[in-house]
Amino acid sequence: MYQDEYKRWAAADLQDFDLNQELNAIAGDDEAIKDRFAVALEFGTAGLRGTLGAGTNRMNIWVVRQATQGVADWVKTQGGTQTVAISYDSRLKGWNFARAAAGVLAANGIHVRIYDELMPVPALSFATRYYKCNAGIMVTASHNPAKYNGYKAYGPDGCQLTDDAVAVVYDVIQKTDVLTGAKYVSFAEGVEKGLIQFVGDDCKDAFYEAIEARQVRPGLAKTAGLKLVYSPLNGTGLVPVTRVLKDIGITDITIVPEQEYPNGYFTTCSYPNPEIFDALKMGLELAKKENADLMLATDPDADRVGIAMKCPDGSYELVTGNEMGVLLLDYICQGRQEKGTLPQKPVAVMSIVSTPLADKVAAHYGVELRHVLTGFKWIGDQIAQLEAAGETERFIFGFEESYGYLAGPYVRDKDAVIASMLICEMAAYYRSIGSSIKQRLEEIYQQYGRYYNKVDAFEFPGLSGMDKMKGIMAQLRQTPPTEFAGKKVVKVTDYAEPAKTGLPKANVLTYTLDDGATIVVRPSGTEPKIKTYFTTLGKDLAEAQAEKDKLAAAVKPLLA
């Protein structure tokens, strides 16, 4: 079966030199052929993601065309403007895939608005809403290594596609022959017919205006003298982030030179993920050299941002996604209260795996903090509910522990551009009153308790990996643990039971312990991993860390 498919590809005109070369190179290698052709990349909730290369189990223009035919058929049932927005980041083949998608949509009579330069996820979400599109497509593999690319599909609200829409798209993909099934015209022909147009400056400017309108203390950053080192990690952040920062008055910005310009090979860090130290290493070295107040890095599609803050002794400390979520929530609430711009009945939103410390901060300011499933589309869904009730202005902030933040309803996905602006404004504010981000974080811990958050991951590779993961989750439900490391389980929340949680069904278990600590167990939706999220409390960091280590040791045998 897979050998036949390989032969069909090898005989076809694939319009891509690299694909032909790869197919020639694997001739006679059964294992390599099987790996590429035995299965197809699956179109899931986040779209497609896979290794670049030839075959149905790889990312290439043919798989992109097939997926886009699925999106096109769904769009055709939707009425509306019959328009789709497209963007792409710095990954290899990104522009090729974006044009391939545009060509399929145009062949289906659907209008396209495509960026003429690489732009991040939030800009795509914004354009989808700005042009009242039926859908949006972002060509990206987020923070995966260089050999990956991917394809995220968005709905008319600028949120990632709903499960119902994904089911329709997937159904069409199953019926569409990967090499011959998708309708297609060349990019040039689509432009000539007026079906493909570039995103206009009006849309780009409106995006920046929407972000800058969310300043908490407008004008403050101009006079604070903040010194910043920034790395776009060879992705899309350079233009939007530096533009917004300069607009609000932060001009002392040193860019990490090796990571400044788009480079899909990501030669300076194998894993361009601002959550991990290696990605920030060069930026940290430069920050020390420049004596910067702050070091900032955005991932390739600029929807997530990581930072290192300067400590009083001159060293730099990485800030976790949970800590930054709490710092921003605290800063926005405090600043907007002071300025009289906090709305009536304000709402913030966070994922169920994020820190309970945020609940304490929200309660302090009288803010309703809603808990949603992991995945930023659920935060977007909460904004949509407020919008439907005519109460969009109530939404002040949303975050998840994996470094995703959003302040304002102008897009429906996480946005490293606004997060970078607010982090810098916050740093400038604390500097202007003789304090710092580090000092404020310590004050928060003194006020609410020393929380410690840590995520561990257990990998289950190979074909049997997914089955093992299912077995472990089933076992945890059949014989629920009653204690961990001598701490009694006082509450188990099973998100597979929507009637009890009030949330959509999800394969997640949360254990609340008698000392206030929590353990969340959640299989990853995109990788063969089970993730465990620990929150512990201690009188200081060392004690909280020691508590976490005890709990992790108790959890380990259950996931072996």
d(CA 346, CA 17): 55
Distance separating alpha carbons of residues 556 and 560, to the nearest angstrom: 6
Element of type H or E holding 73 = helix 61-76
Out of 87, 125, 142, 231, pick the active-site residue: 142
Between the CA of residue 352 and those of 276, 363, 503, 520, what are the distances in Å?
22, 17, 10, 9
- DSSP 8-class letter at 525: S
Strand locations in 89-240 (E): 111-114, 135-139, 148-154, 196-198, 228-231
Residue 94: Cβ within 10 Å count: 24
Residues facing 87 on adjacent strands: 138
252 and 226 Cβ atoms separated by less than 8 Å: yes
Would you say 361 and 330 are in contact if contact means Cβ atoms under 8 Å apart? yes
Q: Are 121 and 300 in contact (CB under 8 A)?
A: no
Distance separating alpha carbons of residues 199 and 476, to the nearest angstrom: 50
Phi, psi for 49 (deg, rounded to 5):
-155, 135
For strands 294-298 and 228-231, give the pairing.
Answer: parallel
Asked if residue 160 lies in contact with residue 169, where contact means CB atoms within 8 angstroms, the answer is: no
Does the annotation mark 125 as catalytic? no
Distance CA 366, CA 360 (A): 10
Tell me the CB-side half-sphere exposure of residue 543, using CA atoms within 13 A: 8
Residue 315, C-beta contacts closer than 8 angstroms, at least 6 positions apart: none
- Nearest partner of 350 among 331, 330, 322, judged by Cα: 322
Q: Label the pairing between strands 529-538 and 518-523.
A: antiparallel
Pair 208, 242: CB distance under 8 Å: no
SS3 275: coil
Residue with tokens 């981000």: 437
Q: What letter would DSSP give residue 506?
A: -
Residues 6+ apart with CB under 8 A from 30: 3
With beta carbons less than 8 A apart as the criterion, state whether 533 and 548 touch.
Answer: no
Measured distance between the N- and C-terminal CA atoms of the chain, rounded to whole angstroms: 36
DSSP annotation of 227 reads -
Which pair of structure tokens corresponds to residue 172? 């069409």
The catalytic residues are 142
